[in-house]
């Protein structure tokens, strides 16, 4: 006769971003929280009775509410708060297992005063494509998976609305993206000894992309994209064009009102998909576009 063995249930991979605003300086904690509960759960498996079941949606809501009420001092401390709550508040729950991944961010330091701009600490991947036909060189440098985020100085409103529009206008939102960029060098002919300093060019271009992202008060991701590309073209004479692909990594305010809590732009659900995808090329005046529109065709 079959018998029920070890079992657990819960909500996996609740994506949480907690913003702490210390005046103009912001601090963030970016977590992926998975909750698994076990205990007196035989009836739900054997007879379908949910009398002892705390819903997984409730465990997700608890993660967001605790981020507001308790804060996130560390992944460990936050997990301890959650585990104690689940075991202590439900007689049917004997054990709570909380698994947390924390994603590190570094502040983007710019000549300006921005203290709300961040870049993911695990670095991007540098790319290059070189073509030579015996006389003409084409060098396309680039990067991918450069994840950046502004906790403020971003708005989105005044857009077209029709019967299917549900998105609300906002005067203060998180703007985050994963930068994929390719830039074509003006150097085409001659001795390779006269080529640009590729490492210096890459480092400077990356810095200009980050500075423009941090310093732009954004009314749309399209506007931010153009400012990023324009800053590179304006400051790096060796670059003829740059093509940018920016997925909009949406962060939505968690609804804490059902729990009697006010969400003052502090606790966000970090959505995975679907996402907006903004792409464009910024050219030096007089240059012609030569980078393929589909960046997936490049390494």
pLDDT average, residue stretch 152-156: 96
- Greatest extent of the chain over all pairs of C-alpha atoms, in Å: 81
* C-beta of residue 33 within 8 angstroms of C-beta of residue 17: no
Local confidence band at 263 (pLDDT 50, 70, 90 cut-offs): very high
For CATH 3.30.1130.10, the residue range(s) in the chain are 14-103
d(CA 188, CA 6): 66
For CATH 3.10.270.10, the residue range(s) in the chain are 111-250+260-297
Query: What is the DSSP pairing of strand 93-103 with strand 239-248?
Result: unpaired
- Tokens matching residue 154: 């971003």
d(CA 234, CA 212): 12
pLDDT surpasses 70 at 252: yes
Local confidence band at 26 (pLDDT 50, 70, 90 cut-offs): very high
pLDDT score, position 241: 97
pLDDT average, residue stretch 19-33: 94
Closest CA to 140 of 127, 126, 129: 129
Cα–Cα separations (whole angstroms), residue 182 to 41, 179, 227, 232? 54, 10, 15, 11
pLDDT digits (tens, 9 = 90+) for 43-93: 999 999 999 999 999 999 999 999 999 999 999 999 999 999 999 999 999
pLDDT digits (tens, 9 = 90+) for 155-176: 999 999 999 999 999 999 999 9
**CATH, range 111-250+260-297:** 3.10.270.10
Question: Catalytic residue positions?
Answer: 11, 56, 250
Q: Where are the beta strands (DSSP E) in the chain?
A: 14-22, 25-39, 93-103, 105-107, 117-120, 125-132, 137-150, 175-185, 239-248, 251-253, 267-270, 276-283
Rg (CA), the chain: 24
Local confidence band at 298 (pLDDT 50, 70, 90 cut-offs): low
pLDDT digits (tens, 9 = 90+) for 197-222: 999 999 999 999 999 999 999 999 99
Structurally, at CATH architecture level, domain 14-103 sits in: 2-Layer Sandwich (3.30)
């Amino acid at each position: 006769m079959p018998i029920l063995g070890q079992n657990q249930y819960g909500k996996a991979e609740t994506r949480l971003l907690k913003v702490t605003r210390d005046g103009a300086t912001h601090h963030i904690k970016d977590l992926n929280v998975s909750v698994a509960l076990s205990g007196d759960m035989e009836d739900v498996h054997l007879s379908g009775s949910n009398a002892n079941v705390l819903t997984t949606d409730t465990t997700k809501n608890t993660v967001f509410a605790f981020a507001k009420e308790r804060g996130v001092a560390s992944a460990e401390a936050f997990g301890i708060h959650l585990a104690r709550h689940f075991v202590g508040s439900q007689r049917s729950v004997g054990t709570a297992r909380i698994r947390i991944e924390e994603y590190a961010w570094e502040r983007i330091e710019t000549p300006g005063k921005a203290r709300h701009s961040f870049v993911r600490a695990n670095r991007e991947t540098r790319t290059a494509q070189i073509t030579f036909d015996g006389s003409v060189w084409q060098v396309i440098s680039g990067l991918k998976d450069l994840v950046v985020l502004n906790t403020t100085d971003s708005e989105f409103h005044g857009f077209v609305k029709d019967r299917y529009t549900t998105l609300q206008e906002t005067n203060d939102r998180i703007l985050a993206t994963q930068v994929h960029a390719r830039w074509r060098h003006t150097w085409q002919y001659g001795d390779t000894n006269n080529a640009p300093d590729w490492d210096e060019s890459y480092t400077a271009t990356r810095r200009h992309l980050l500075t423009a992202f941090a310093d732009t008060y954004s009314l749309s991701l399209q506007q931010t994209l153009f400012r990023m590309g324009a800053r590179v073209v304006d400051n790096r004479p060796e670059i003829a064009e740059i093509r940018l692909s920016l997925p909009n990594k949406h962060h939505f305010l968690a609804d804490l009102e059902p729990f009697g809590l006010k969400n003052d732009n502090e606790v966000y659900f970090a959505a995975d998909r679907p996402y907006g995808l903004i792409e464009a090329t910024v050219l030096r005046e007089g240059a012609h576009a030569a980078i393929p529109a589909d960046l997936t065709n490049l390494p």
